[in-house]
Amino acid sequence: MSESQHRFLFVVASSRAEGNSERLARRAATGLASHVQTRWLRLDDLPLPPFHDTRHDAGYVAPEGNARQLAEATAWATDLVFVTPVYWYSLPASAKAYLDHWTGWLRIPELKFKETMTGRRMWAVVVDSSDPGDGSSDPLIGTLQKTAQYMAMRWGGTLSGHANRPGDIEQDAAAWHEALQFFTVRGAGA
C-alpha cells in the first residue's frame, strides 16, 4: 500500500470527551504526514444496541443506524486505532460492544468484513491510572492483539500512558514524547 492510501480511523472509547487517552492519541496523530486521511469516531456518540448472538438461529442482517456507520467506517480504515482508557483491566463497555458486533458483521456475506480487514493494521493508544510497569493494561492489550490475530490484521503497537485526573497525561513525559513519533517509527503514515 502506498503512503497516500493510509486511512486512520481513531475509535475513541472513553466516556470522557477529550480525556487522557484521546489527548494522547490526538498528539500521536500530529505525527502523521499531511496526506494521511484521518477520521475520529466517539463510540459514546454512536451507541450500539446489545449484541445478540443469533448465528445458530436466524442469522444476521445488514447493520443499520449507528452499527452501519461503524461497520462502514471500520471497513474504510487501513489503520484502526483503539483510543481507550483502562476500565477494570479491560476495555470500556462501548469498545467491547463494538467488538461484539464484529461477530455479526463477520457472518454477513455482502459485508465481506473479514476479507476487508485482513492485512489491515490495528493499533492501541491506552491510558491507565496505575504505575508504569504494573501490567494493569495487559488484559486490554491482549484482547486487541488476539482480535487482530483472529482477523488476520497486523498489530501496529501500543502507545501506553499513565494518568489519573483530566489533563494529567501531559505529565507522563515518556508517553507524551513517544506520541509524536509513534506511528511513523512503526512504518505507517510517514
Question: What are the pLDDT digits (tens) for 131-142?
Answer: 888 899 999 999
The whole-number pLDDT of residue 59 equals 84
Query: Which portions of the chain are predicted below pLDDT 70?
Result: 1-4, 186-190
The domains found in the chain, sorted by start residue, are: 9-185 (3.40.50.360)
Q: What is the pLDDT of residue 55?
A: 87
pTM: 0.94
Please, are residues 66 and 46 in contact by the beta-carbon 8 Å criterion? Answer: yes
State the residue for C-alpha cell 469516531: 41
How far apart CA 101 and CA 70 sit, in angstroms, is 10
Tell me the CA distances in angstroms from 44 to 16, 48, 155, 182, one per residue in order. 9, 9, 25, 26
Confidence (pLDDT) at 174: 96
Residue 84: its pLDDT value, please? Answer: 98
pLDDT single digits (tens) 88-109: 999 999 999 999 999 999 999 9
